[in-house]
Structure 1
């Protein structure tokens, strides 16, 4: 059964998305890379910024509050569940959106055998 708290958190995070998350979402949405991504998708007990269910690929966009042991534990939990986690800093999305999208597309292709 789905955790209603995670659903509520995901809704709040979608509503309060950062500028960088919104920019990346515009690049990923509507199967732009040949696979569907979801925004603020619950992967209990976490909520991923972006997730491609077909490829079991998570994309996180991080600000300065990230990069600590909690993120490492979160990544380890999702990896143990079969997900591949990619992390990009906000400044990477701002300065090199095309490069970030290219990297995501490369890993997506690897995950889907393309």
Structure 2
């Protein structure tokens, strides 16, 4: 059986890993709009790198509701959550741990990056994201 290829990163085929039927809390919809409008710098800078399929032709969603959480970015075709940890995550390790455990229980992978790194080392962040995707989604 041939696995469906989403894209290639540096010649390495990346497989589709679509997670179906994710839980969704419609009560959070207004919060997603508010978060987008707030435009935190790290999220805006990251979005400029990935919007309109500019990053290896991969489609990213911004402020995606999954269960009772809003994740910063989501790649539906990979089942990949990208979280940019800024000041709101300081002293919040327990809540972040529960959130990450929940997301992983749904079969999702979570890539966490520091807001500081996005603002100051975006090229390194994008390389780390490439490496993460290759590690977890390359065709075997």
Instruction: Provide TM-score, normalisation by structure 2.
Output: 0.74
Q: State the match for 2:80 in structure 1.
A: 57
Bigger relative contact order (CA 8 A; separation at least 6): 2
| Runs of 4+, deviation exceeding 6 Å | none
Q: State the match for 1:85 in structure 2.
A: 110
After superposition, give the CA deviation of every residue in 1:56-84 in whole Å (9 maximum; x if it has no partner): 11111111231510001001100110111
Cα distance in structure 1, aligned partners of 2:66 and 2:104: 11
Q: Cα RMSD over matched residues? A: 1.6
Cα distance in structure 2, aligned partners of 1:96 and 1:2: 33
Is 1:43 matched up with 2:69?
no
Is 1:32 matched up with 2:57?
no
SS of match in other structure, 1:36: coil
Note the residue ranges of structure 1 that are not aligned, 5 or more in a row: none
Query: Displacement, 1:111?
Result: 4.0
SS of match in other structure, 2:52: coil
Q: Is the radius of gyration larger for structure 1 or structure 2?
A: 2
Instruction: Provide TM-score, normalisation by structure 1.
Output: 0.90
Is 1:6 matched up with 2:38?
no
Paired residues, what number?
A: 114
Query: Displacement, 1:112?
Result: 3.7
Query: Displacement, 1:2?
Result: 4.5
